Amino acid sequence: MNVSMPHVLIPLADGFEDMEAVIVCDILRRADVQVTLAGLGAGPVRGARGIQILPDALLADVAQESFDLLVLPGGRLGSQRLGEDSRLLDLLRERHERGEMIAAICAAPGVLAAQGLLEGRAVTAYPGTLDPHSPHYHYQETAVVVDGPLVTSRGPGTAMDFALTLVELLLGPAQRAQVEAPLQRSHVS
């Protein structure tokens, strides 16, 4: 069986949460998912903890390509900058209208909330990012929440669970298990 591998877009803005971007990209690539890290502008992008990443492409050059999933890494400043980029916001609204997969972690669900893209969904985020009492969505304090084509997660400590959930959604539980086994994760029963 020859199945084409999924293609994932991860936009990066200065101030992104380093662990979330790197862990999600790494885990997806371990699963042989094609990942495009896209910068909002030319040159390296600096994370909140100083890690610099040279993106694979500019968002402007890849925004019209077909992606199976768009993942927003968190980081307060990085998320704020993503939320100020009209190209990205247009892309998010288009994906939402078509029912296509969007994932956001940490502060990034706030970008989706500001655009009204969480309406009626079960969600989670970094504490203080979303109003836990909002009538617009159903806030949960779990590591990862999947509600239809929307996947949200809490923060750096949940990045690996978030990434492995994305692998499972894109490629199935067997591929998740294959990627997870060599990571030697500790599972507390």
Q: What is the pLDDT of residues 69-117, one digit of tens each?
A: 999 999 999 999 999 999 999 999 999 999 999 999 999 999 999 999 9
pTM of the full structure: 0.95
DSSP β-bridge partners for residue 12? 39
What end-to-end distance do the CA atoms of the chain give, in Å?
Answer: 36
Q: Are 136 and 160 in contact (CB under 8 A)?
A: no
Q: In this structure, which amino acid lies at residue 56?
A: D
Q: What are 128's two structure tokens?
A: 């203080």
Q: Is the pLDDT of residue 39 over 80?
A: yes
At 2, the pLDDT band (50, 70, 90 cuts) reads very low
How far is it, in rounded angstroms, from Cα 50 to Cα 161?
23
- Residue 186: pLDDT band (50, 70, 90) is confident
pLDDT score of 1? 41
Q: Quickly count: other Cβ atoms within 10 Å of residue 73's Cβ.
A: 33
Instruction: Find where tokens 């923060």 sit.
Output: 155
Residue 26 has pLDDT above 60, yes or no: yes
Q: Work out the pLDDT band at 3, boundaries 50, 70, 90.
A: low
Q: Is a pLDDT exceeding 60 seen at residue 131?
A: yes
| Average pLDDT of the residues of the chain | 96
CA distances for 103 relative to 73, 84, 174, angstroms:
9, 18, 21
Which residue of the set 92, 106, 123, 145 is catalytic? 106
DSSP string, the chain: ---PPPEEEEEE-TT--HHHHHHHHHHHHHTT-EEEEEESSSS-EE-TTS-EE--SEEHHHHTTS--SEEEE---HHHHHHHTT-HHHHHHHHHHHHHT-EEEEETTTHHHHHHTTTTTT-EE--STTSS-TT-SSSEE--SSEEEETTEEEE-SGGGHHHHHHHHHHHHH-HHHHHHHHGGGT-----
pLDDT of residue 138: 98
- Protein fold of 7-180: Rossmann fold (3.40.50)
Q: Is the pLDDT of residue 35 over 60?
A: yes
Dihedral, CA of residue 147, residue 151, residue 152 and residue 153, to nearest 10: 110
Q: Per-domain residue ranges for the chain?
A: 7-180
To the query of whether residue 106 is one of the catalytic residues in this protein, the response is yes
The token pair at 58 is 């500019």
Over residues 122-143, mean pLDDT: 97
